[in-house]
Amino acid sequence: MTVTKSARSKKPVKPTPQQSEHVHTTKVPCEPCDTLSAGVARQIRYGLCHNEQANSAIFDALAFGVKEQMLDQWRNTRLKDNQFEQKQVAYLSLEFLMGRALGNALLNLDLTQDTKALLTEYAVDLETIEECEHDAGLGNGGLGRLAACFLDSCASLDLAVTGYGIRYQYGMFAQKIVNGYQVEKPDRWLRQGNPWEVRMPHRIVSVPFFGHCTSYQDKAGYTQHVWQDCQHVLAVPYDMPVPGYRNGRINTLRLWKAEANDDFDLAEFNDGDYAEAVADKNLAEQITMVLYPNDASENGKELRLRQQYFLSSASLQDLLTRYVAVYGDNFSQFSAKNAIQLNDTHPSIAVPELMRLLMDVYGLGWDNAWQITSQCMAYTNHTLLPEALERWPVSLMQHMLPRIMQIIYEINARFLEQVAHKWPGDSNKLAAMSIIEEGQKQQVRMAYLAIVGSFSVNGVAGLHTQLLKAGLFNHFYQLWPHKFNNRTNGVTPRRWLVNCNQRLTELITRHLGNEWIHDLSHLTALNAFTADKAFVKKWAEVKQANKQVLADFVFEQSGVRFEPNMMFDVQVKRIHEYKRQLLNVMHVIHLYQRILNGDTANMAPRCVLIGGKAAPGYAMAKQIIKLINNVAHMVNNDPLVTPYLRLAFLPNYNVSAMEKICPGTDLSEQISTAGKEASGTGNMKFMMNGALTIGTLDGANVEMIEEVGKEHFFLFGLTTAEVQQLKASYNPQTYIDKSPALQGVLNMLRGGHFNLVEPGIFDNIIDAICDPNDQWMLAADFDDYCRAQAEVSALYAKPTQWQKTSIRNTAASGRFSSDKTIEGYQQHIWLKESFV
Ligand SMILES: *Cc1c(COP(=O)(O)O)cnc(C)c1O
């Protein structure tokens, strides 16, 4: 393998024209409301208003008006950051699950009250207008929503962080339920236009694909590599503003759209195949057409690798352009001035891509380029599930990205020398740790590439990081213990408390002032109010009002009536076996059976809500949705049952749905098999809004229990160690034999009670529960789950105690603000001084 040794750039690097903006001292309007009002009026006057859609026209006008408000501050933020006074961070993520932007922008810019006043002129309330905004659903679930919460916290903490992502034309599919089954509909979120985005044609870059590599000796005798005859795809940036909480900073989420290069297929033009050549442009534009809808499992499709490289290359080129505009070709400050956070392995091809750009475009030698790359990159791992670990066939990589494959081989060769030095003569270690997995088909292990190329590797909750170090990445931990660190996830309190639960926010602020919005640890002061009867009563009234809102929403979306005097027991998240929605339904069936048997003693009346999307190719998850719907049908149509129990499946769970769900929830279900959920963030949103949690010792539940105390949490189930120990000898039948409740549930399922006219459709599910290879261990945890649920019922029967526990949960949720999480990233990763 030859390597680039040249240390000099062939061409002097000049600042690009877009860098030559100067700071103007634009006066910020002192009466934002007047400006906004005039802006909105202007938008409406100039033709946006169609009568039949008056509300969405007002939404558009308002959004454009709010964006206009941000332009000066946005520009000032950019110009300031282009000076590189503080270290710049690029957060690379294939997913940003942003949801709606209007409410959040108004809150952060302190325009909510003014807007409400303004809208009285149009005789419409703000909530109605907010409902007109389509969710930006550019993500699957937790990982994508984390990226969105991080952007809000980074801007609010005045950090120079840019989000880099893909502007998918179709985001996360819309879920419909037809005859109890999930049906996917394309999410055409851009059809009505996106008022927040700004196309930035002067920052277009070009991304190479295919072609082949050659090398030559330059005049100084160094080997230079050329990647030639490639197809170039244009990456066009669309910027979205990310306003900080009332601090004047407007950060940027830069989303790349793929467009065909004009000379994409000039040869065909010359052959007279004009129409063919133009049609070929679609191939380029396909790259950013659709978000892959897999959560916690890899996909392996060629187009997905194209998306990953497209995002990584475009973003790094953008970063380098900005740097070079200030420092020219002096790269000695690059790693001091830039950090690149990789959100899972999805953008980990950025490691060899940064090497390529530094060597082939900017002329650095290998050692220098590697020093820079490995001091900039930081990798966040999000899962231990083996099916989620990305591996790309070497043959595919070779074909699509030949120069990148060359660089990966060289990274690996040099890395394996280090392994051999640490463990002399241990060929097993070499095979186990190699970035290239050998076998019939060689594959690139993207997680190993990310670890080798990064100075920081972090898990997303204490337990998760511990398991990474002890298991999946143990060899790497032994080699580089200093790289590993934990950064427990968090959620932004602006969206997930202040904006979504205004009643609770008002109550808290009336008693604590408003400092807690900046520093959520102040919420601990709420504990004192558990002794204040009037406060506890108010707390209960807020929950009751929020439950009514949720009940209306559930009815509108599913047709099931929820009764706000009953307990609202909620599990919303992606449908996955490890999250165990099935365990939840089994408990519902158990309660249903008890009710039919007249055994309603000590049973608190409940409304159970389950929602979430299944990956379209995940058959078992889809069957579980069908089961939930069939059980719901039986439960909800029996008037003897509905006073005690109701069940609804909420279609199309997304961010804006969660904003209505978490404020109205009494009981949050966080019941994954121990050791499988990396962190969870839904658990934190519920806790902040005063829900009590029933859950396993998994993910961030562990830390929630540390904060609130185990007496205020309904803990059940096997521990991670017990799950691991039991695996070899697991036999569900022993649990079934011991449990009349579980026998009852299985008998009812086997008897076809929920599928009388659809014989056999749940056989797979029954078999899975009884399978000794059931790695989710449903049967093992069932009885203890029912025991904990009985404790839930008992506490719900004591409303005052329940409300006090609710207050304690909110009071203890401060640790789960993503502001805290981001302070940790900033202090321990992005600003880390020395790299051992
Ligand atoms: C918070 C959130 C998630 C993550 O939920 P988990 O329970 O942590 O899996 C997924 N989807 C949406 C829409 C969310 O808001």
pLDDT in tens, 646-678: 999 999 999 999 999 999 999 999 999 999 999
Specify the ligand 1 atom closest to the Cα of 679. Answer: 8
Strand blocks (E) in 652-744: 667-670, 692-695, 714-715
Ligand 1 binding pocket includes 580 (Cβ within 6 Å): no
Say what the pLDDT of residue 45 is: 66
Span from the CA of 190 to the centroid of ligand 1 (angstroms): 23
Q: What is the pLDDT of residues 67-99, one digit of tens each?
A: 999 999 999 999 999 999 999 999 999 999 999
> Measured from the CA of 657, which atom of ligand 1 is nearest?
13
CA-572 nearest atom, ligand 1: 7
Which of 272-276, 356-360, 739-743 is predicted with the least confidence, judged by mean pLDDT? 272-276
What whole-number percentage of the chain has pLDDT above 90?
87
Q: What percent of the chain has pLDDT over 70?
A: 93
**Among protein residues, the one whose CA lies closest to atom 8 of ligand 1:** 680
Say yes or no: CB of residue 573 within 6 Å of ligand 1. yes
The rounded mean pLDDT for the chain is 93
| Ligand 1 centroid – CA 278 distance (Å) | 41
Q: Which of 695, 638, 692, 690 is nearest to 671 (CA)?
A: 695
Answer with the residue of higher pLDDT: 333 or 835: 333
Q: Is the CB of 487 under 6 A from ligand 1?
A: no
Residue with CA at minimum distance from ligand 1 atom 5: 682
How far is the centre of ligand 1, averaged over its atoms, from the C-alpha of 655 (Å)? Answer: 8
R_g over Cα of the chain: 28
Ligand 1 midpoint to CA 627 (Å): 22
**385: how many CB neighbours lie within 10 A of its CB?**
17
Whether residue 307 contacts residue 288, with contact meaning beta carbons closer than 8 Å, is answered with yes
What residue spans of 328-460 are helical by DSSP H? 334-337, 350-356, 366-376, 394-400, 402-422, 427-433, 446-453
Taking residues 602-628, what's their average pLDDT?
A: 98
Nearest CA to ligand 1 atom 9: 573
Our answer on whether the CB atom of 351 is closer than 6 Å to any ligand 1 atom is no
Contact 302, 400 (CB under 8 A): yes
CA 537 to chain centroid: 36
pLDDT in tens, 167-176: 999 999 999 9
Distance CA 659, CA 682 (A): 11
How far apart are the C-alpha atoms of 573 and 657, rounded to whole Å? 11
Closest residue (by CA) to atom 10 of ligand 1?
A: 141
Q: How much is the average pLDDT of 353-373?
A: 98
Distance from residue 253's CA to the centre of ligand 1 (Å): 20
**What does each C-alpha distance from 322 to 11, 317, 531 come to in angstroms?**
17, 9, 56
Q: How confident is the model at residue 278 (pLDDT cuts 50, 70, 90)?
A: confident
Atom of ligand 1 nearest to the CA of 142: 4
Q: How far is 32 from 109, CA to CA, in rounded Å?
A: 10
- What is the atom index within ligand 1 of the atom nearest the CA of 97? 13
Of all atoms in ligand 1, which is nearest to the CA of residue 655?
13
Contacts of 303 by beta carbon, 8 Å cutoff, 6+ apart: 286, 287
- pLDDT score for 48: 52
The residues annotated with a catalytic role in the active site are 382, 573-574, 579, 681, 685
In angstroms, the CA 186 to CA 574 distance is 18
Instruction: Name the token pair of 145.
Output: 């929503």
Report the atom number in ligand 1 closest to the C-alpha of 681: 8
Q: Is 234 helix (H, G, I), strand (E, B) or coil?
A: strand
- Summarised one tens digit per residue, pLDDT across range 539-586 is 999 999 999 999 999 999 999 999 999 999 999 999 999 999 999 999
Question: Could you identify the atom of ligand 1 that is nearest to the CA of residue 99?
Answer: 13
Q: What's the pLDDT score for residue 339? A: 98
| Spatial separation of the C-alpha atoms in residues 322 and 254, rounded to whole Å | 14
Residue 47 pLDDT class (50, 70, 90 cuts): low
Q: Judge contact between 442 and 502, C-beta under 8 A.
A: no
Q: What local confidence, expressed as pLDDT, does residue 245 receive?
A: 98
C-beta 655 within 6 A of ligand 1: yes
Q: Is the CB of 654 under 6 A from ligand 1?
A: yes
Using the predicted structure, report yes or no on whether residue 329 has a pLDDT greater than 50: yes
pLDDT in tens, 382-425: 999 989 999 999 999 999 999 999 999 999 999 999 999 999 99
- How many angstroms does the Cα of residue 492 sit away from the middle of ligand 1? 13
- Look at residue 290 and give its three-state secondary structure: strand
699 in ligand 1 pocket by Cβ < 6 Å? no
DSSP symbols for 301-317: -HHHHHHHHHHHHHHHH
| pLDDT score for 46 | 66
The verdict on the CB of residue 630 being under 6 Å from ligand 1 is: no
Q: Which of 98, 577, 655 to mutate to test the pocket of ligand 1 (most atoms within 8 A of CB)?
A: 655
Ligand 1 atom having least distance to the Cα of 491: 1
Residue 681 in contact with ligand 1 by CB distance below 6 A: yes
pLDDT confidence band for 282 (50 / 70 / 90)? confident
Contact indicator for 415, 452 with CB cutoff of 8 Å: yes
d(CA 141, ligand 1 centre) in Å: 5
State the Cα–Cα distance between residues 436 and 541, nearest whole angstrom: 59
Are 667 and 792 contacting, i.e. CB atoms less than 8 angstroms apart?
yes
Average pLDDT over residues 269-286: 78
Q: What is the whole-number distance in angstroms between the Cα of residue 149 and the centre of ligand 1?
A: 11
487-501 tens-digit pLDDT: 999 999 999 999 999
pLDDT of residue 129: 96
Domains, the chain, with CATH or none: 17-21+82-99+135-487+824-830 (3.40.50.2000), 22-81+102-133 (no CATH), 551-810 (3.40.50.2000)
CA–CA distance, 82 with 76 (Å, rounded to integer): 10
- Atom 6 (ligand 1) nearest CA: 682
User: To 5 degrees, how large is the angle CA 547–CA 550–CA 552?
Assistant: 110
> pLDDT, tens digit, for every residue of 115-144?
999 999 888 999 999 999 999 999 999 999
pLDDT recorded at residue 18? 41
Ligand 1 pocket, residue 346 CB under 6 Å: no
The DSSP H or E segment spanning 276 is helix 274-285
Indicate if the alpha-carbon torsion angle 498, 500, 506, 508 is positive or negative: negative
**What separation in Å is there between the alpha carbon of 680 and the centre of ligand 1?**
7
Helix/strand/coil (H/E/C) assignment for every residue in 537-563: HHHHHHHHHHHHHHHHHHHHHHCCCCC
- Closest atom of ligand 1 to 685 CA is 1
Between the alpha carbon of residue 534 and those of residues 511, 519, 529, 563, 795, the distances in Å are 12, 26, 9, 25, 20
44 pLDDT higher than 70: no
Q: How confident is the model over 519-532, as a mean pLDDT? A: 98
Q: How many residues does the chain have?
A: 836
Q: Whose CA is nearest to atom 1 of ligand 1?
A: 682
Q: What is the pLDDT of residue 14?
A: 41
Q: Answer whether 611 contacts ligand 1 (Cβ < 6 A).
A: no
Separation of CA 70 and ligand 1 centre (Å): 29
Does residue 24 surpass a pLDDT of 50?
no
The continuous run of DSSP H or E covering 205 comes out as strand 205-209
Model pLDDT for residues 618-651, shown as the tens digit of each residue: 999 999 999 999 999 999 999 999 999 999 999 9
Say how many Å lie between the CA of residue 665 and the centre of ligand 1: 15
* Per-residue model confidence (pLDDT) at position 261: 84
Asked if residue 184 has pLDDT above 90, the reply is yes
Residue ID of nearest Cα to ligand 1 atom 15: 655
User: In a mutational test of the pocket of ligand 1, which residue from 98, 573, 677, 821 has the highest number of ligand atoms less than 8 Å from its CB?
Assistant: 573
Predicted pLDDT of residue 322: 98
Asked if residue 145 has its Cβ within 6 Å of ligand 1, the reply is yes
Q: Is 146 in the pocket of ligand 1 (CB under 6 A)?
A: no
Residue 654 C-alpha to ligand 1 middle, in angstroms?
Answer: 8
142 lines ligand 1 (CB under 6 A): yes
For β-strands 606-611 and 645-650, DSSP reports them as: parallel
Ligand 1 near 658 CB (within 6 A): yes
Q: Identify the bridge partners of residue 182 per DSSP, sorted by sequence position.
A: 177
